[in-house]
Chain A
Amino acid sequence: MKDRATLVGSVVAAILASICCIGPLAFGLLGIGSIGFASALAPLRPWLIGATAFFLTAGFYLAYRPRALAACEDGVCRPADRRTQRVLLWMTSALAIALMTYPSWSGAFDLSRTAAGAGDEAAGPTVTLEISGMTCAACGPGIEQELLRVPGVVGARVDYATERAEVRLATTAADPGHLIAAVERAGYKASLTDERAAARASVSEGPPLAGQWRGQLVVGEGRTSELVVDLGLVANRWVGQFDLHDFGVEDYPVEVAFDGRSVTLHLTAAQIDFDGMLSVAGEAVAGMATSQGHRDSLVLKRAGEARFSAEFLALEKVAEDSARVEPLSADAAELRRRFNEDRASTRLVMLLSPT
């Protein structure tokens, strides 16, 4: 009984000692991804290896120690049959050693090639992450699986030797913050480096938002108006302007914030706030628009999109007989010009508060 307990103990300890590495491999092969539990055992590995060694030593002692005379009965000493025990012990030892040394030969099961393969096919920016906390190459597949779950990520390869993850993105952006969070979900740590900051800059300041976008607004009962937003990058800063032609709103500024795929537009003059996400293919920004207490979905499509479809913002109804309102500059040049053009007429100038 004691012998059997020793054997079981050594195998359990060996499994625990290696689970931080073999766990992700097993989970990866099963397709259920990495689990933080496996990596959490990594700091205990030296202790678990010691426990394995202790159990195996005890097992060998019990298997090969001289037999006590009590085994002799009726004056005849029969040699004890410890062959089975010894065979089991050697098999257990082989298994325990294999498990304990798994980190040094785990490269043969490196699943990262599979994960990275998809990424190699797609062109797009690459972000390199530094990973800490890995104890063997088998930690990689779990991290890669978590990274591949991040929207916009098309490939991921973790290199245990350099402790780096190379993440390939679609042409549109994936927020590096999401990538770091994915690594942490896998049970490891990641931190920003200059290289990654540069990658982030290239992602967030690249061309994805540049261009003209169009959407439709509901502005009355069954009446729509086209919202046109032009966005561009000037001196590393996103700038934009928008038009609502039906309401005489032209070339009004848009406050733009763009981080990863997250897009925020503030259309000051129309009091419309829009929070959306850039689609992976970069053809649309979909999100929620808020205007004076009204909130509804709004999709802005790239101008020229064949699949242009209108989704409506339920804006407050604007009086159907409202007149065109022209923007006036601070020097009132437009008013002065019109006033003088109408010099043959009697003129009434009214300065009014809308409220």
Chain B
Amino acid sequence: MFKGIATEALKGYAVWEPILRTDDVRGARKATTILPDPRVRHYWIDGQEVGETFQAPLGLKGEPAWDVYLVYPPGIEWKGKSPPKPTYFMHQLAALPAARRLNSETLAAKLQKVLAK
């Protein structure tokens, strides 16, 4: 996805969190190889607190947010404790609308559209 969008105006933040029993920081380090773009910063949170923080902007209940992708256009700030609502998001969860299931081409197109504005 990042490979196809060659602009420094796009920043990515990958928050790796322990959802499955086998998830750990070593796994996170290994997983960074699937997102080897210098524009992406990688974080490891040893708990699900951040995933829970992102429940509200996604309208997610019952489980922490994970395998979700939130798009924010320029100018939006994160004020307060809760993150801002994204202008667009995609996911791989059963609890969120199926229409927003991850499709990398759709997500890339959405990002291109936001960047073009």
| A and B associate in one complex | yes
- The smallest C-beta distance from A239 to any residue of chain B, in angstroms, reads 18
A159-203: CB near B (< 8 Å → 1, else 0) gives 000000000000000000000000000000000000000000000
Closest-by-CB residue of A relative to B34 is A352
Q: CB distance B49 to A330 under 8 Å?
A: yes
Listed A/B pairs (16) with beta-carbon separation below 8 Å: A292-B26, A318-B30, A325-B32, A325-B42, A325-B43, A332-B45, A335-B13, A339-B78, A343-B74, A345-B11, A348-B71, A349-B70, A349-B83, A350-B69, A353-B16, A355-B22
- The smallest C-beta distance from B42 to any residue of chain A, in angstroms, reads 5
Q: CB distance B35 to A323 under 8 Å?
A: yes
Q: A108 on the interface (CB 8 Å rule)?
A: no
Cα-based distance from A342 to B9 in the complex (angstroms): 9
Q: CB distance B11 to A342 under 8 Å?
A: yes
Q: Which residues of B contact A322 (CB under 8 A)?
A: 29-30, 32-33
- The smallest C-beta distance from B71 to any residue of chain A, in angstroms, reads 6
Q: Which residues of B contact A292 (CB under 8 A)?
A: 26
Of B8, B15, B115, the most chain A CB neighbours within 10 A belong to B15
Q: B68 on the interface (CB 8 Å rule)?
A: yes
Q: Which residues of B contact A353 (CB under 8 A)?
A: 16-20, 23, 66-67
Cα-based distance from A327 to B76 in the complex (angstroms): 24
Report which of B42, B65, B111 forms a contact with A346, defined as CB distance below 8 A.
Answer: B111
Report which of B10, B12, B27, B33 forms a contact with A350, defined as CB distance below 8 A.
Answer: B12
Cα-based distance from A175 to B43 in the complex (angstroms): 43
Q: A83 on the interface (CB 8 Å rule)?
A: no
Q: A354 on the interface (CB 8 Å rule)?
A: yes
* Residue positions of B touching A, CB distance < 8 A: 8-20, 22-33, 35-36, 40-47, 49-51, 53-54, 64-78, 81, 83, 86, 111, 114-115
Q: CB distance A328 to B43 under 8 Å?
A: yes
Of A247, A248, A339, the most chain B CB neighbours within 10 A belong to A339
A239-276: CB near B (< 8 Å → 1, else 0) gives 00000000111000000000000000000011100000
Known contacts being A340-B77, A353-B20, is A348 close to B10, with CB within 8 Å?
Answer: yes
Q: A73 on the interface (CB 8 Å rule)?
A: no
Q: A338 on the interface (CB 8 Å rule)?
A: yes
